[in-house]
Structure 1
């Protein structure tokens, strides 16, 4: 199998509204297609990937990484079986890159890497979760993955009854746990929204809340004190994701689970979070997103650091709400996965026909990541490769 073309394009995503920091109007993401010379059913095998969700497209930064793949001798990109090797490709793309600065560069690598893994799994005629389980977990895979529905964004005129209607649609789809936004309104208003959601769900342990990094330390502690009596599933990203002192001080004051990590873009930063952020491996949740953090080669380094520092991989519930994170959860034995059943379309959510039963889903046996299994996304994939 040889690499023929690498195509990169920014594509629009529907807006869910706003969180405490960002209004998502005009949001896009970066789509990647990697065409190979391998022919299946009369067509070239093509791997697809994208830069996860919630951050803007970065196609303009892809040039040097794509150029390194194109200019590399073909045999340097292949594994012993003659297939494209995502690990070798990753090392080639990162040649001559300085350490540090783990920002939008990490998103570019994440998108290209997803497409490489999609192509590799298709070349082996297996779903990605199976490939990952065989490579990293001795063949053991989770056929059922726990998922929660992420939503509850702010929008003009969206009151508690509208929030309740939204959450009810998730429950009707089969979800048991949901997550809503906080920090974009006053504490009193956020408490009313939380109480309304808990009344619908029946228990605070089925509700998580997400501040998207809005708070300073004083506000985070004030919110923590107000939230503690609700017994929430978790309190997510109270402050800036790299403010480890804020996270550590909050963990000392807030006894219930905290969550963070979706905006940690490298294994180095993940290790620092676990060393200095006061995160507690017996209760807290990590949300590292492979699609935003250099792709699977560096994600495996993050998992290795977790194990060295006494963390179970089950404490990860990846951010992103999409198929790639779902494959990682099943193949690597992570704790669960976020889901975007109603927002960030057409990339958010899972393959058409995926059933959520009592808060769990089963992955399809379609080779690769399965982005083509989303009918709304299929024309976009076809357009980039045309």
Structure 2
């Protein structure tokens, strides 16, 4: 049980202040709460900030991924290659369209999908006469490692590449901000993300022909937005439905929070980076841990450590339970999708089919990381981790120390 006298340190906490409160109050007092001028302004400011060709705000990254795959024509039986090492949303949006995810294992030493395994599976699918449509990589923890190789692969085989960039904002690269120079990228503004609107997301994409389709499909397939109908001099009830669309629009209350958060994005990222550097310094001598490699071009949405289980007499879950009982919030990112009942049974998958993803899952722990985390809190997290590791060394490790 947690000691009630010890402050609990949450796994994540949004960094919100008076500016966000005042922005929300302004919207509430305006009388217009749904998608309107705040959402439009958020999109425009996002384009200027990122250099994206086009940006459309949605009520979740899941919605954004669904919309872009639908607009790119994913349909029944199409194959889309993606990582198994991700949240279920990445694969489920492929199923929404009737397509099938084809899971790619991790690159050695990475948490992102392996370009070599990806190409191997593309070739096999094509040899079987399958309709391979695209590649959907995931930037775990905010690290875009392997993206250039996967993008080159997509061009080689005539496939689209859509980035699940839910963790990866804002990250620069030589070609531009991650998410903006492939076919499309989708960011998440969920409560624990690098900037937040509570719930929300943004699609960025290159092809102007996609804009009309996505804009309509995010709001019931109607050819005009609510705000356009409201502000138009023409009869607002005169609109057309071009397809059975979805209810994926971002409201102005969320959008106005996003506008404030966007102005703070660099500051919030720098705070995360300072915490990551402190974690790495404090834990660098713990021989029972593998730490993430420092990278400047990384969003650091998560700080994920890996246990060296051969040096411990407890497993990952037991280690996490000790941290929980001492008031430390943690999480696991992720249990691979090929181990989940739906995907395992539908596609007849086994754990050994993706051995690197399976093996990593049993060792990883995501530590508390949020912009307003104090160095005192970080020190306590590190102290508990170090004490836990030292007090639970394996018998072989104890013998080697002697």
Q: TM-score, length-normalised on structure 1? A: 0.29
Give the TM-score of the pair, scaled to structure 2. Answer: 0.29
Which protein shows a greater Rg? 2
Structure having the higher strand fraction is: 1
